[in-house]
Chains A and B, each alone.
Chain A
């Protein structure tokens, strides 16, 4: 048998004998009906027809039995002396013998023909399956997708049960649930040898299953186990190998893609880091130069300096150092947030509180109280890291204080599923080009004497992203900028108090 179907169950076995019986009964019935009108030769043709049908529909045992049955029935019912198994004349005897030979020949030829048709159909089906799988795999973008497609293809192509397992990066194999130790050992050996194992392969022929590697030696991504595995079914094994080769190729392609992306990401990251370092060192060096200058001037020229001048230098040291600590804090935060291992501390927080804490700190740099805040009562709580959110709002306010002269509005408003924190100033605003690269870590507004906004905004953006929030910038009508932080609000707010 070519088709790797297992032994048919009993009812199917019984059914073919029923079919044989029915065919013979039909032929006999038709013969009895036609008898008055036709000769014995024509009646024999009716039986031959039944044999031909049986040969086409049933396997060779049944069709041979049918052939013998047809000759016997013709003899019993129609050949004189009728209703006996005896044959009267030699001519009839020869005729019956010829008919038996014809019937057997038909049955043999028809089964052979059918077998070839079956093989052709199976081959076509397999070719179509391979083609479909190849097309689907070309579109697969994840290992899970490839796995699902592979499982579906193996289940469709083989009676099963089929097992598909992938190796991890460290080389150990995922043991799929419900597989026994024998299957696991077979898969491991198959991956190790990167060759097909099982009946008919010359390797481990005693097994009751085929084990096929996914991929070629050097990059085997996993293995499959297929059942049933008759040693003679070479075509079936070849089909399984073709399927596995496709799966192996797809997995290899995905792995190469992932490696390429990783390499690209790394290159991009390194490039960013070097521009970032250049920008940072500028941001660090300038205040350091001011501090060193002022301190050395006080050390060497104190006697010649007027008290007011000494005071000015001391204040400059204090404020530059203050600025330096902000730059340091922002730099550290940006590095921390860009590391993939970063986990966000997240608790229920009140935006009113965070804004209040930020204002109390920023007011030191806002003696003229340019910042006007408006925070409505009864805002929903948000989930987030309060230290980071405070840093974000402080950076926006710092920028507004450095880049603009007029009043600054800090407001919080509640929308359907978001809380919006916006900082509006009446500064010079930004050009299109500036707006496009606003949140990049190395970009600074072109303001002589003012510095460090680029880093601050990059940190703001990183903090917003870590919270699943959006940070946007818009130019205001009448001049100035409006930065908005849109924070998601969870619809399930915490219960007020335990009952």
Chain B
């Protein structure tokens, strides 16, 4: 079955570039220039992935994310320029799956789409319970974390934090989402908890905590557990 991508982008050059490079990779590509057009297309035939540019002429995309999230878990990848940080974070908090910062390469776009598809809904993929990359092995079912085959002892909070990232492996998880899921909704402003616990986790899991292989920082946005 061909996977369908909906590209919402108002710049003609970038739109046609995405269309051609995604078509080459075997995706069926639909394009929309405005949010209302995107919403109409989405209602008519829901795509498998949405690539959503920020700063469209008819709105900031938050509405589209809400409309989509109300019905489906279709992955949404937000494409933003540097100065749209706050807007991007708002969309991620509202349920968008990942983001790309302009300018980006085709390889990055494809990697993001691949990860997003891997996580798409429990109907297509079983819930993630295991994570394996290089020297790190995390098994959520048995609460076991191995580094180079050696068990790593984590505190309950450290484990909860790691488990949350494992469930979204490869995708960015915003500060707010992490704080709400690990500490509770009343702690969404306590970013310093994250700084401290991520520091501890890195010290236990990474070979070189200052240049991490697994627990990646998305500066100003959140964290990402490397998936490849």
Query: Using a CB–CB distance below 8 Å, which chain A residues touch chain B?
Result: 318, 321-322, 325, 329, 332, 345, 347-350, 352-357, 359-360, 373-375, 377-378, 381, 385-387, 390, 494, 496-498
The number of chain B residues touching the other chain, given as a range, is: 20 to 34
Alpha-carbon distance A327/B210, docked complex (angstroms): 27
Considering the complex, which residues of chain B in the window 184-228 have a beta carbon less than 8 Å from any beta carbon of chain A? 187, 190-193, 195-196, 198-199, 202-203, 208-212, 216-220
Alpha-carbon distance A356/B224, docked complex (angstroms): 13
Can you list the 3 inter-chain pairs with the closest CB atoms, starting with the nearest? A348-B192, A375-B210, A494-B192
Q: Assuming the A-B contacts A374-B210, A377-B203, are A354 and B217 also in contact, with contact meaning beta carbons closer than 8 angstroms in the complex? A: yes
A24: shortest Cβ distance to chain B, in Å? 85
Alpha-carbon distance A171/B13, docked complex (angstroms): 53
Q: Assuming the A-B contacts A348-B195, A356-B210, A496-B196, are A386 and B82 also in contact, with contact meaning beta carbons closer than 8 angstroms in the complex? A: no
Considering the complex, which residues of chain B in the window 51-91 have a beta carbon less than 8 Å from any beta carbon of chain A? 82-83, 85
Can you list 24 pairs linking A and B with CB atoms under 8 Å apart?
A329-B82, A345-B220, A348-B191, A348-B192, A350-B196, A352-B199, A354-B217, A355-B210, A356-B211, A357-B218, A359-B210, A360-B212, A360-B216, A374-B210, A377-B203, A377-B209, A381-B195, A385-B220, A387-B219, A494-B190, A496-B193, A496-B196, A497-B193, A498-B187
B103 touches A (CB below 8 Å): yes
Alpha-carbon distance A355/B198, docked complex (angstroms): 14
Q: Name the contact of A360 in the complex, choosing from B193, B198, B211 (C-beta under 8 A).
A: B211
Alpha-carbon distance A241/B63, docked complex (angstroms): 66
List chain A residues, Cβ under 8 A from B82. 329, 332
Instruction: Verify A390–B219 contact, CB threshold 8 A.
Output: yes
Alpha-carbon distance A393/B223, docked complex (angstroms): 20
Instruction: Verify B103–A353 contact, CB threshold 8 A.
Output: no
Q: Name the contact of B198 in the complex, choosing from A350, A390, A498 (C-beta under 8 A).
A: A350
Instruction: Verify A359–B211 contact, CB threshold 8 A.
Output: yes
List chain B residues, Cβ under 8 A from A381. 192, 195-196
Closest to A377 in B: B203
Alpha-carbon distance A390/B218, docked complex (angstroms): 11
Q: Assuming the A-B contacts A350-B199, A386-B219, are A373 and B83 also in contact, with contact meaning beta carbons closer than 8 angstroms in the complex? A: no
Instruction: Verify A349–B210 contact, CB threshold 8 A.
Output: no
Q: Assuming the A-B contacts A377-B203, A386-B219, are A349 and B195 also in contact, with contact meaning beta carbons closer than 8 angstroms in the complex? A: yes
Instruction: Verify B103–A357 contact, CB threshold 8 A.
Output: no
A497: shortest Cβ distance to chain B, in Å? 6
Instruction: Verify A354–B219 contact, CB threshold 8 A.
Output: yes
Instruction: Verify A353–B196 contact, CB threshold 8 A.
Output: no
Instruction: Verify A353–B191 contact, CB threshold 8 A.
Output: no
Closest to A349 in B: B195
B136: shortest Cβ distance to chain A, in Å? 16
List chain B residues, Cβ under 8 A from A355. 210-211
Q: Name the contact of A353 in the complex, choosing from B187, B193, B195 (C-beta under 8 A).
A: B195
